[in-house]
A and B are shown apart, each in its own frame.
Chain A
Amino acid sequence: QVQLVESGGGVVQPGGSLRLSCAASGFTFRNYGMHWVRQAPGKGLEWVTFIQSDGFNTYYADSVKGRFTISRDNTKNTLDLQMNSLRGEDTAVYYCASDIMTPFDYWGQGALVTVSS
């Protein structure tokens, strides 16, 4: 069965960096696009970034463009999110989600990122 497991969350100071990972299993990872979606405390869902299956095409929300970088390792079945220049408004649970059959079909359990001094 499809499993997506995020890791790497934690507390970071404003201006700092953090790297999230999503370990994928139960499907042929290299064939499918992947997303990161976030949810600030008590708020709704916000799409963050998307990477196509081959890793060459990436897309970002304006709110993170130039600060966040999505990448993937199709040999290790992992998806990463490098987050730099973090701000308080980046505090959220970050979910990875897949496009196996159709967009956003499977989601992980989420990783909490708290940006605070």
Chain B
Amino acid sequence: DVVMTQSPLSLPVTLGQPASISCRSSQSLVYSDGNTYLNWFQQRPGQSPRRLIYKVSNRDSGVPDRFSGSGSGTDFTLKISRVEAEDVGVYYCMQATDWPPFTFGPGTKVDIK
């Protein structure tokens, strides 16, 4: 199984400042079709998960452009250019390249300092 790790697990941020979350996979997430199936999800308190980013760097519809994804192979990053209050929650990376099983990272809790 592909193991997903994230760092940090807790990220206190100042409003208006940038934030960055790292995600690493235990093996390359490049699929045979050339795509890399690495997603990022946001889960606000008391809500369902919402996908923000798919295939490493593609923002879902309605996702603010302050969110961006990057990376390749086994190392990936989610960046928030300027954190807003509504960004508080837990962020998960997830791989959909080598399945089953589909595997999620442990989550990074973002809150305001």
Instruction: Kindly state whether residue A108 has any CB partner on chain B within 8 Å.
Output: yes
The stretch that binds A, out of B12-20, B21-29, B78-86, B103-111, is B103-111
Q: How far is the CA of A37 from the CA of B103 in the complex (A)?
A: 10
**Residues of chain A within 8 A of B39, CB atoms compared:** 102-104
Interface string of A54-76 (1 = CB under 8 A from B): 00000111100000000000000
Verify B102–A35 contact, CB threshold 8 A.
Answer: yes
Q: How far is the CA of A105 from the CA of B48 in the complex (A)?
A: 12
Would you give 16 A-B contacts (Cβ < 8 Å), ordered by A? A37-B49, A44-B90, A44-B92, A44-B105, A45-B43, A45-B49, A45-B92, A47-B101, A47-B104, A60-B100, A102-B39, A103-B37, A104-B51, A104-B94, A104-B96, A107-B50
Q: Which residues of A contact B (CB under 8 A)?
A: 35, 37, 44-47, 50, 59-62, 95, 102-110
Min distance, Cβ B100 to any Cβ of chain A, angstroms? 4
Verify A102–B102 contact, CB threshold 8 A.
Answer: no
Verify A47–B103 contact, CB threshold 8 A.
Answer: yes
Verify A103–B48 contact, CB threshold 8 A.
Answer: no
Within 8 A of A (CB), among B25-61: 37, 39, 41, 43, 48-51, 54-55, 60
**Residues of chain B within 8 A of A47, CB atoms compared:** 100-104
Q: How far is the CA of A62 from the CA of B37 in the complex (A)?
A: 22
Cross-chain contact of B48 among A44, A50, A95, A102 (Cβ < 8 A)? A95
Given contacts A102-B37, A103-B102, A104-B41, 15 further A-B contacts (CB under 8 A): A44-B90, A45-B92, A45-B104, A46-B104, A47-B100, A50-B100, A59-B100, A59-B101, A61-B100, A104-B39, A105-B51, A105-B54, A107-B48, A108-B48, A110-B48
What is the interface size of chain B, counting residues whose CB is below 8 A from a CB of the partner?
24
Verify B55–A102 contact, CB threshold 8 A.
Answer: yes
Q: How far is the CA of A50 from the CA of B48 in the complex (A)?
A: 18
Instruction: Tell which of A60, A61, A104, A109 has the most Cβ of chain B within 10 Å.
Output: A104
Verify A95–B60 contact, CB threshold 8 A.
Answer: no
